[in-house]
Structure 1
Amino acid sequence: MTITSPHDFLGFDIGERPVSHEQIRLYAKELADQSEFVEHREYGTTSSGQKLFTLIIGTPRNLERHVDVKLDPEKIRSGNKRYIEQTPLVAWIGGGIHGNELSGVDSAILTAYRLAAGQDEITQNIRANVLTYIDPLFNPEGRQRALAHTNALRRQQSAQDHQDMVHNEFWMHGRGNHYLFDLNRDAIFQTQQQSRFRVAAIRAAEPQLFVDAHEMGWDDTFLFAIPARPLNPHLPDGVHESWLELGEDQAAAFDEMGRSYYTRAWNEVFYPGYYDIWPAYFGAVPMLYEQSATSGLSVRQSNGNLVDFRTAVENQYRSTIANLATVARDKDRYLKRWMEARAEAAGRNAKDNPRTYVILPGNGYKYRETLRILLSQGVEVEVLQEPVTARNLSGYKNDLKVTAKLPAGTLKVSADQPLGNLVRNILDAHTPFSPEFLREERRSLDLGEATQLYDVTAWSLPLAFNIEAYWSRSPLDGRWVDARQTALAAPKPPVGAANYAYIYRDDSLQATARLLQSGVKVRVAKAAFTHDGEDFRPGTFLVRHEEQVGDIRPLIDAEQAKGAIELFAAHGARILSGPDLGGDSFPLLRQPKVAILGGQGVSQTSFGAVWHLFDEKVEVPATLLNMMHLGFFDLSSYNAMILPEVDGDLSELLPGAAMKALANWVDQGGTLLTLGNASFYASEAGIISSVPRSRTLDDTTLMMVGRSIAEIEADDFLGASSSDGKTPQQTRAVLGASAKELDARNEPFDFADTAQSFADQRSATPAVTMTPAQTIAKIRTYLPHGAYLQAHLKPEHWMAYGVTERLPVLFRESDALSPGPNAALIGRFASMPNLMLSGLVWPEATGYISGSAYLLLERKGRGKVISFASDPLFRGYSLGTERLFMNAVYLGTGRHAE
């Protein structure tokens, strides 16, 4: 059997230069056509239509008998020797999840060729004992952008200076996918189409080894698991042992080459949604590779070493072969460990912390998304068939035990199942840190060092979606049926013809956006009313027949048929309780003409989330504008403009002409939305009168909790290693009401001990040498690194339509806002004891953030600016705050006044 080598097929050696997506695709098919050991499978497409595929490599017998066959955990558990001996271990080798991290993709080609053509003992043993799925390029659009940049700046002379343009991509760079999402954070929520395809393919393969190849900074070496703290407490016990075993052989391969590497550093695995840790919750061993980046060329490091692309590819390739060889030698034990991880998950959660979660069907869009996510992960979900009353339930926003009537359609999920550890990660209100990590993190921050956290510290689905959900430690009565075997609800029949109008509820505003785009005239209720025995809240939508042009009934029916709206017929304008349907309590909405500002200086991921929302989820057009060129555009074409988060000072990013054009556009009636830190830079640029919290500390009653200013100035460790062995109060994190129940090992901070205003504390502290600005900068080092905080919204305000008055908000290392003289406060962060919901929050942060503004509306000329203190569309899964954003766009550009 003759197998074409990569060199013979491509005309150059792997590592000489990066391979294009088309070359990878064609060579993969060539291998499958030539080798009896290789099967080629497409498993999905990206949003732009690029094909996703794997090569499955193993002996013909294993390919025939075990591809598409689910492993039988019971036969492994019972020690069925014949079954275990005949069952290969499954490995998934992934590359290119970040498109501009190039070497992992090219190394996958080398791995595929060796496993297809190699006849050495190690390769034959891998083929005989491992079914290897090679997923060479998960993010083709990102790689295409990265290679276009590199190829455009390629030259005859080697560009080895890391400051050279070729090593520093322009906006938009190649890390993200088509919509610029970081796919490595998308394994659980699957906001992107290609993530949904990949999760399904990985779950079908059921790997016991999962490799994810990445790149990192140019001046680094090579990092691989074992990960650093904080470790997620829900990780299976066996994965720690496997990391040590696999790492030992991987280290030996690098030692043989005489190359540097390290482990246990910055790659913390607390957030479970990375692809390089998510497989662990299914029993697999995830291995992360991080190779120093070369941009597909060569780069001179600060120590004088020249690292070229060929070396980067070889490091990834040697690591992959080393890991495959390890599991091939001892595949029976790794199969058993996979089974034990799943059994351990059920047993641990049943014995140590039995929990049952219920999700109520009150919000159709978010409810359907919740079910989709759970079922796509393989979580066992049951659906309530008849209403039942449940007592002693715990909620997500307070510590009260409640009694609730659970309606038919309520979802129930038990932690006592093979994926119980994943269930806890998805549905718990809070994931606790170890006391050891909290002490280390606090000491680092007190020393003025960077946080040890790499990602968010909170991601709870009920908080992210702001859905009505509870958990119970006791069994729940009622008749429950497997969600996979029953329809959630029968399709709603079309509503009969309405003589006067249609009334509808739209919990996401996506249907309303499409109706407006299609020319339907839509009004929104400013006051509550009752019609035909049904109560309707402010924010209900009204479509009067007399105002329409043409037959709008098919459009309305289509939205109802897919569950996007809840529709009612009104045969007349008379309302006995509330305003009549023909009055001015139902202002008409205008169709927004939306522009999204992007370009150099705008956060790619924040921009991508806005773009994706309009283009793929809402399915209405939005114009993408380069904000640097605003001075040259006719902005009168738009009535809504969105400024995503930015990566610098807006007053420096925007040329004077662009800044003036933006300000004039608002003055003339435009609605500008500023997201997250863009709101603070809008303040610096003079677009809004509101200011960062740090500007107003001396003028407010901010309560400084935790250390005194003298202690902050002294940089002491607050007795972190006190002689009595107890954790001192100041090193304790804040635990919210719901979090306390889940974090028994950590004693929460007690707010009763210290509360003083900033100004009073400064005047009472003798010999303070730091300026207020220096003190504030010190305090801000303790701001949350991605935690859910509680915000309160102004009741009945149009910005709060369809949203609960108490709202979980993800806060990430930003500032807080103080309202300016022209601003209306729509949402503010809760008081100190009630602020924290989930994640790591220090007491200083609660004092700094508490009572500050989350959502502001500021009139400016004939227009308005709506400012969010944190990004309401974070990573595309923040459905709770997404509704606020939709209100801002679709109601903020309407004709009604607040």
Structure 2
Amino acid sequence: MKRWLQMVLMALALSGATATMAQVKTDLAYLPKAVSYDPAVPLPESVLGYPVGTWHVRHDQLVNYMYALAESSERVSIEEMGRSHEQRPLVLLTFSAAKNQAKMESIRQQHLQSLDGKADGDLPLVLWMGYSVHGDEPSGANAAMLIAYYLAAAQGPQIDTLLEEAVILMEPALNPDGLSRFAQWANMHKGKNLVADPNHREHWQHWPSGRTNHYWFDLNRDWLLLTHPESRARLSHFHKWRPHVVTDFHEMGTNSTYFFQPGVPSRKNPWTPDNNVSLTEAMGEHHARALDESGQLYFTQEAFDDFYYGKGSTYPDAHGSVGILFEQASSRGHLQSSEHGELSFVQTIQNQVTTSLSTFSGALANKASLSAHLRGFAGESLELAKKDELSGYLLSEKHDKSRFRALLEILKQHQIRINGLEKSVERNGRRFAPEDSVFVSLNQPQYRLIKSIFSTRKNFADNTFYDVSNWNLPLAFNIDYEEIERGFWRKLPLGDTLPNLNGARSELQQDAYAYAFSWQDSASPALLQDLLEQGIQAKISSTAFTATTDQGKVSFEPGAVIVPSALKQPEQWRRLLQNSANEQGIKVWSVTTGLTPQGNDLGSRSMATLSAPKVMLVGGAGTSQYEAGEIWHYLDQRVGLPLTIVDMDRLQGVSLANYTHIIMADGNFSAIAQEQTDAIQEWVKQGGVLITQKRAAKWASEQDILNATFVSDKELDNAFDTSGLSYGDQDRLAAKKRISGTVFNADLDLSHPLAFGFTRSQISFLRNSTLAMHVPAKPFLTVSRYTQTPLQAGYVSEEFQQLLAGKANLVAHRLGQGKVIGVTDNLSFRGYWYGTHRILSNALYLSDFIDVEG
């Protein structure tokens, strides 16, 4: 690009932008001064009724403004990508010159073709501007309105060049539900006179915070996992466009300054090419100049990393885009004191405006390099694939089609090609049959992402992790898979037809003695819950048996559900059963007699009668909003169970007798009074089931409710030799004493009711805490324990590996007439850890079979 144009665009980013006071009189105070604006395009203040930053914008107000903007300018188009959980629209705006808007689909197609080497020419850059994935980091979403106005209304040769040379996609609020929740909180505590005192209620959100979405998930961890509709909508459009640059605007602690990437150099994902860092640095020079000009403090290359491919600033890096993280010190309200003086909401918005503009100038100044990087990315990835000793991965799951289907759906959304098998393959003693196996080849443009998804790496150049150190998807889904070396690839009978994983359809015999279905599919709990809610009476078996059906003899494993005709059933119950089974894709068998050829008969006492569980989840201040939300999401979305959520500080006012099960996720439960602890213990003794996870399990053990002991903090510290360490070794020691999210292998007792439905004793758990539970001395209490070499993937120090080897991670026992269950790991981690979340279902529906005293 010509020198004069770079200078003009730099001036565009730096001219003006001085809104640093607590209030502004007009939106134009945020924007470049040496620019005229089209009076036909509405300022945000003309739609909101006040200048941006006066109040925290709600999502509905933001969307209303964006539609008004699109109606006023031929530079703007807007579309709805999807809806959030709370049915708020997820909008994407496209900004470009009017002549580009008229042929936008052609530009998009040519852009995608250029990535495959099928189109050349000087095509526009594609820039994706993403704001406020965390709802309580609202400066980005508020800045988005100002940047949108600038792109639609600014006049002059500089803006004309930008819009001719680029297509700018804008997602103004990545987390509509959280943004609206936080806006309500901040606005309801704003007075006529702004209060900067950090102790003011405005700066202390109630539980759950606005950071999270409807189910209290961190959406900035969901780009890879795709648990939520917000992420799925975004990803489909990301692949529809494959942008050159993706921005990710955040906020951090009030006493910080401003951060932009690159982050810590040694903490880059190893599959991200070095050229990505170079381009990020080149863009960073523009951010630095812009912040220098406006007199703002900032930092780079520290604190934040680029490792986990599930974040908004790192997922793009796996696709040839340049993802850039911005972190602004947060006012967490309208005005707050900090060690750098009073920080206003207005100032936080201003800084996000400034770096949005510097992103435009930096991208255009580096257009040729960004274009070359993206165009060459797929080819470079394929070259890496050719050098890899592996050709891909064989995956198989025979018994649980729902779980396998969920994994493959994620892979497909990431544009990963999957092949079926035309005939069976034997590999290392395993049989991979066409009806339940697939092959994921490394010879495709998504090579880097696939290597990351299947990674079992345990050692890293820098062992400090801001987030998880592994996210192996097959391990998370408990899917059997085999690495296939390059020499074996040609022996694979690959085909284009994938196995049918859509589930079976049932045609029930109307005069059957009973009906039965297996517990092995992940959708079985949802089917059972649906039946119980419709008043259909069912039994569940604690033992294996063989039944005589209208299609012959069928074997059922423990946990199988029986719906007998002999029990009093509601009207048209067979039709209800068939409809529910077909909706879930679960095969229901028509049993012709209660006499079984093998195993207990259908009237046996080993067949327990079920009733719909009434479940309370303890939430509120002191509990982890993330882990409580994961449990809520699993039971609500996957199982269809109505869940009562009670804040911890309200427990004393709630009758526990109304509930059959209480679930306590991770948290600090020291605030529970002894009187309430005694009430919980007595409730268990009277027949209740208490399910505790992580620190809740430790609390239950300390209260003599759970018969388990935990490794003390002193024992944990003593596991690390600190002799000879210097002052500068503190960070290294802290990294060794932290477990940020790794995969541990455990032996599961398949004979235990909590393991019914599982078919393999080896199972992968997600571990993200340093809690360690001793194996109880009493037999039969331990449901699962780590293997002697438990680390499967991710980083854990040698000291912790030795300490955790052989330790129990899941125990259960009877207490009086009730049951207590304790687990040290996260069973429903981020909504995608399908391999273990059914343990939670088993705890709800099969706990009656736990019959050993603690």
TM norm structure 2? 0.89
Distance apart, 1:584 and its partner CA: 2.2
Q: Could you tell me whether the CA contact under 8 Å between 2:813 and 2:852 is conserved in 1? A: no
1:415 alignment counterpart? 442
SS in 2 for 1:475: helix
Structure 2 counterpart of 1:423, which letter? I
Distance apart, 1:718 and its partner CA: 14
- The yes-or-no answer on 1:689 pairing with 2:707 is yes
Distance apart, 1:77 and its partner CA: 6.0
| Residues 40-61 of structure 1, C-alpha deviations (whole Å, 9 max, x = no match) | 1111111111111111110122
Q: 1:696 to 1:588 in 2, by over 3 A?
A: farther
Structure 2 counterpart of 1:187, which letter? W
Q: 1:871 to 1:332 in 2, by over 3 A?
A: same
SS in 2 for 1:835: strand
Q: 1:830 to 1:718 in 2, by over 3 A?
A: farther
- The yes-or-no answer on 1:288 pairing with 2:325 is yes
SS in 1 for 2:608: coil
Alignment partners' CA distance in 1, 2:216 and 2:796: 29
Q: Could you tell me whether the CA contact under 8 Å between 1:630 and 1:662 is conserved in 2? A: no
Q: Could you tell me whether the CA contact under 8 Å between 1:465 and 1:877 is conserved in 2? A: yes
Alignment equivalent of 1:188, drawn from 215, 224, 228: 224
Structure 2 counterpart of 1:869, which letter? T
Q: Could you tell me whether the CA contact under 8 Å between 1:817 and 1:852 is conserved in 2? A: yes
1:31 alignment counterpart? 69
| Residues 132-180 of structure 1, C-alpha deviations (whole Å, 9 max, x = no match) | 1111112122112212221222223332122322112111210101111
Alignment equivalent of 1:847, drawn from 794, 798, 802: 802
Q: 1:368 to 1:527 in 2, by over 3 A?
A: same
1:449 alignment counterpart? none
Structure 1 counterpart of 2:325, which letter? L
1:774 alignment counterpart? none
1:523 alignment counterpart? 539
| Residues 362-416 of structure 1, C-alpha deviations (whole Å, 9 max, x = no match) | 22111110111011111111222x432233xxxxxxxxx4442333242211111
Structure 2 counterpart of 1:105, which letter? A
1:465 alignment counterpart? 477
Residues 105-144 of structure 1 mapped to structure 2, 5 A cutoff: 105-144=141-180
Q: 1:335 to 1:54 in 2, by over 3 A?
A: same
Alignment equivalent of 2:832, drawn from 877, 891, 894: 877
Alignment equivalent of 1:480, drawn from 482, 488, 494: 494
2:672 alignment counterpart? 654
Q: Could you tell me whether the CA contact under 8 Å between 1:388 and 1:477 is conserved in 2? A: no
Distance apart, 1:483 and its partner CA: 5.9
SS in 2 for 1:785: coil
Q: Could you tell me whether the CA contact under 8 Å between 1:390 and 1:476 is conserved in 2? A: no
Pick which of 226-235 and 817-826 moved more.
817-826
2:7 alignment counterpart? none
Q: Could you tell me whether the CA contact under 8 Å between 1:690 and 1:819 is conserved in 2? A: yes
- The yes-or-no answer on 1:66 pairing with 2:101 is no
1:537 alignment counterpart? 557
Alignment partners' CA distance in 2, 1:838 and 1:600: 33
Alignment equivalent of 1:361, drawn from 390, 397, 401: 397
2:771 alignment counterpart? 815
Alignment partners' CA distance in 1, 2:565 and 2:218: 45
Structure 1 counterpart of 2:761, which letter? E
Q: Structure 1: where are the runs of 5+ without partners?
A: 392-400, 442-451, 698-703, 721-730, 732-777
Structure 2 counterpart of 1:245, which letter? A
- Number of residue-to-residue matches in the alignment: 799
Distance apart, 1:121 and its partner CA: 3.5
Alignment partners' CA distance in 2, 1:490 and 1:20: 42
Alignment partners' CA distance in 2, 1:718 and 1:131: 50
1:377 alignment counterpart? 414
Identity %: 27
Q: 1:71 to 1:682 in 2, by over 3 A?
A: farther
Alignment partners' CA distance in 2, 1:821 and 1:670: 24
Structure 2 counterpart of 1:264, which letter? Q
SS in 1 for 2:763: strand
SS in 2 for 1:885: helix
Q: 1:847 to 1:896 in 2, by over 3 A?
A: closer
- The yes-or-no answer on 1:801 pairing with 2:756 is yes
SS in 1 for 2:141: helix
Q: 1:321 to 1:886 in 2, by over 3 A?
A: same
Alignment equivalent of 2:315, drawn from 255, 267, 278: 278
Q: Could you tell me whether the CA contact under 8 Å between 2:619 and 2:646 is conserved in 1? A: yes
Structure 1 counterpart of 2:542, which letter? K
Q: 1:239 to 1:326 in 2, by over 3 A?
A: same
Structure 1 counterpart of 2:530, which letter? R
Alignment equivalent of 1:20, drawn from 55, 58, 61: 58
Q: Could you tell me whether the CA contact under 8 Å between 1:825 and 1:856 is conserved in 2? A: yes
Alignment partners' CA distance in 2, 1:663 and 1:184: 38
1:92 alignment counterpart? 128
Distance apart, 1:333 and its partner CA: 3.5
Alignment partners' CA distance in 2, 1:147 and 1:273: 26
Structure 2 counterpart of 1:117, which letter? A
Alignment equivalent of 1:630, drawn from 651, 654, 672: 651
Q: Could you tell me whether the CA contact under 8 Å between 2:737 and 2:797 is conserved in 1? A: yes
SS in 2 for 1:93: strand
Distance apart, 1:825 and its partner CA: 2.7
2:15 alignment counterpart? none
Q: Could you tell me whether the CA contact under 8 Å between 1:677 and 1:870 is conserved in 2? A: no
SS in 2 for 1:116: helix
Distance apart, 1:250 and its partner CA: 1.1
Structure 2 counterpart of 1:542, which letter? I
Alignment partners' CA distance in 2, 1:670 and 1:71: 63
Alignment partners' CA distance in 2, 1:846 and 1:279: 33
Alignment equivalent of 2:194, drawn from 158, 165, 187: 158
Alignment partners' CA distance in 2, 1:490 and 1:806: 25
Residues 393-472 of structure 1 mapped to structure 2, 5 A cutoff: 401-428=428-455, 430-431=456-457, 433-434=459-460, 436-437=461-462, 441=463, 452-472=464-484
Structure 2 counterpart of 1:54, which letter? L
1:714 alignment counterpart? 723
SS in 1 for 2:328: strand
2:33 alignment counterpart? none
Q: 1:856 to 1:208 in 2, by over 3 A?
A: same
Alignment partners' CA distance in 1, 2:473 and 2:556: 27
- The yes-or-no answer on 1:829 pairing with 2:785 is yes
Distance apart, 1:347 and its partner CA: 1.8
1:771 alignment counterpart? none
Structure 1 counterpart of 2:655, which letter? D
Q: Structure 2: where are the runs of 5+ without partners?
A: 1-37
